[in-house]
Amino acid sequence: MQAFVGVDVGTTSTRAGVFDEAGRLLAAARHPIRTWHEAGDVVEQSSDDIWRACCAAVKAALAEAAIAPDLIKGIGFDATCSLVVLDREGAPLTVSGSGDAQRNVIVWMDHRALAEARDINATEDEVLRYVGGSISPEMEMPKLLWLKRHLRTSFDAAGHFFDLADFLTFRATGSLARSMCTVTCKWNYLAHETCWSAAYFRRIGLDDFVAENYARIGTEIVAPGTALGHGLSRDAAKELGLVAGTPVGAALIDAHAGGIGAIGGRAADGGEVEVCDRLAYIMGTSACIMATTRAPSFVPGVWGPYYQGMVPGLWLNEGGQSAAGAAIDHLLRSHPASAEATAAARAEGLDVISFLEKRIMARTNGAGVAALLARDLHILPEFLGNRSPYADPASRAVIAGLDLDADIGAMERLLVAGLCGLAYGLADVIDAFAANGVTSRTLVMAGGASRSPLVRQIMADTTGLTVALPGTQEPVLLGAAMLGAVAGGAFRSIGDTMASMSTLGRLSDPTDPGVAAFHRRKRRIHGLLRTLDRESRSVMHGAAGEA
């Protein structure tokens, strides 16, 4: 027997999973990570804390699987697209106004670099075509420019700037190689030309990297799953509870690992898989909507096209929602019945969302639930702005139809209305794809919310697509483990691994034309709320000098 470990670093925790060659999950474990939240959309973490959490999760998963470390033939990592800063000796270097060296990670959701993103976009450089025409403050170049402008001492003293996923493979192996996924999707590397754009760096004010021949951001760019260095270093192996030399695959961004673990799955009939007919919808704290194509498609407001950003040989377009699970959590926590619902959920051994869904599904099969509960309650759930297709990081949530009801029933209505809002945001991205020639028949959902029949049915009825579950409950962890399987030589390529280790599970089809028509009407109101948000900001911030 041989097995593989996948490590996933999300926004609030690190998880590890052990899989066999067929993609079966043998065990999984989770460990929390620390986050500092400051005013002004500042969100920071510690790379040392994240690494310790990785080690704790891997050891716990191995113990749960009761598998000997020498049977682990490869390990892969994925992570959020957060920026890690190290000094020339590889020690943490502060990104924080506090000066605390441990706070050396600018988290993906940190929006401190809004002004820098606007300045970069104002250049209208050709490189921006490959991020949908507009760079996001969630990407790394605005964050790097912010550091140069506001923490120049750290910027100049830095020896290495890593995407978090690449930091993890560096910490595991000592290799400075970067993944083509991370640098292409978040650092403006032009994978189709296999180069950085010197003109772009000079235009946006980061000519420092050109002068040093990109040494601090990556000179060796490799495909995901490429075996790095000599495998796990002796120190890293000891910390992880594995064997020194265990192959380590070049990493993926977390959502992209979920895509790899989801869209290549064999259907129940065993028919040939065509990944370009499938969208991946990875729903966690945020959500990513990913489409693969054989030729580049330029979709305004949608990141990409990225050559080999996820699947080898294919182009990737990546839409997304900056707040997905985080939006629903925030809505429910803010409700007056939150404490009552939380206590009732704990009494049944459930989380709040599962508790509310259980109550809802006892009255309906999910198909007509939106009409039953959320006909007159409408939510634009953009607490962290719109990632795509409007590329508007300043947009904010709007709620219409809220009343004074303060019981758990009102929380049910809030949940369903919030899910509808996320579904309409997803449909906006899918429509933008379709308008630019990117069409799909199946939406493969991954992430915690994908296990919800209610969520899947609302998504199917709103988009008109068949919504499929991956065969595994942990497609993100599986995608990370696939990287280890390729690095360890069990499979020749990511494509072979996808075909061998993943399957599709349950399908949710759209229900009936009446339900679809209801969602079309409700989605019109979603558009009106977006207009209200945009115009209200224009009135309040576009009238400089007015009282």
User: Mind listing the pLDDT tens digit for each residue in 309-364?
Assistant: 999 899 999 999 999 999 999 999 999 999 999 999 999 999 999 999 999 998 87
User: Mind listing the pLDDT tens digit for each residue in 451-489?
Assistant: 889 999 999 999 999 999 998 989 999 999 999 999 999
Q: Could you give the CA distance from residue 534 to residue 529 in angstroms, rounded to a whole number?
A: 9
| CATH superfamily for domain 3-253 | ATPase, nucleotide binding domain (3.30.420.40)
Q: What's the confidence (pLDDT) of residue 275?
A: 86
Q: What's the confidence (pLDDT) of residue 270?
A: 61
Q: What's the confidence (pLDDT) of residue 251?
A: 98
* Secondary structure of 129-180 as H, E, C letters: HHECCCCCCCCHHHHHHHHHHHCHHHHHHEEEEEEHHHHHHHHHHCCCCEEH
What residues contact 132, with CB distance under 8 A and at least 6 apart? Answer: 298, 299, 300, 301, 302, 303, 304, 388, 389, 391
User: Mind listing the pLDDT tens digit for each residue in 220-279?
Assistant: 999 999 999 999 999 999 999 999 999 999 999 999 999 999 998 776 666 566 788 999
Name residues of the chain where pLDDT drops below 50: 543-547
Q: Could you give the CA distance from residue 238 to residue 259 in angstroms, rounded to a whole number?
A: 31
Residue that has been written with the tokens 């945009």 in this structure: 534
CATH class of domain segment(s) 325-429+512-540:
mainly alpha
Q: What's the confidence (pLDDT) of residue 269?
A: 61
Q: What's the confidence (pLDDT) of residue 353?
A: 95
What residues contact 334, with CB distance under 8 A and at least 6 apart? Answer: none
Q: What's the confidence (pLDDT) of residue 479?
A: 97
Cite the residue boundaries of each domain of the chain with CATH code 1.20.58.2240. Answer: 325-429+512-540
Cite the residue boundaries of each domain of the chain with CATH code 3.30.420.40. Answer: 3-253
List strand residue ranges (DSSP E) for 284-361, in order. Answer: 287-293, 303-307, 315-321
CB 496 within 8 A of CB 312: no
pTM of structure = 0.91
Task: Please state, in angstroms and as integers, the Cα–Cα distance from residue 326 to each residue in 72, 383, 409, following that order.
Answer: 34, 9, 21
Instruction: For residue 8, list its beta bridge partners.
Output: 15, 78
Q: What's the confidence (pLDDT) of residue 227?
A: 98
Q: What's the confidence (pLDDT) of residue 185?
A: 97
Q: What's the confidence (pLDDT) of residue 545?
A: 37
Q: What's the confidence (pLDDT) of residue 448?
A: 80
What is the widest separation between alpha-carbon atoms in the chain?
Answer: 73
Q: What is the CA radius of gyration of the chain?
A: 22
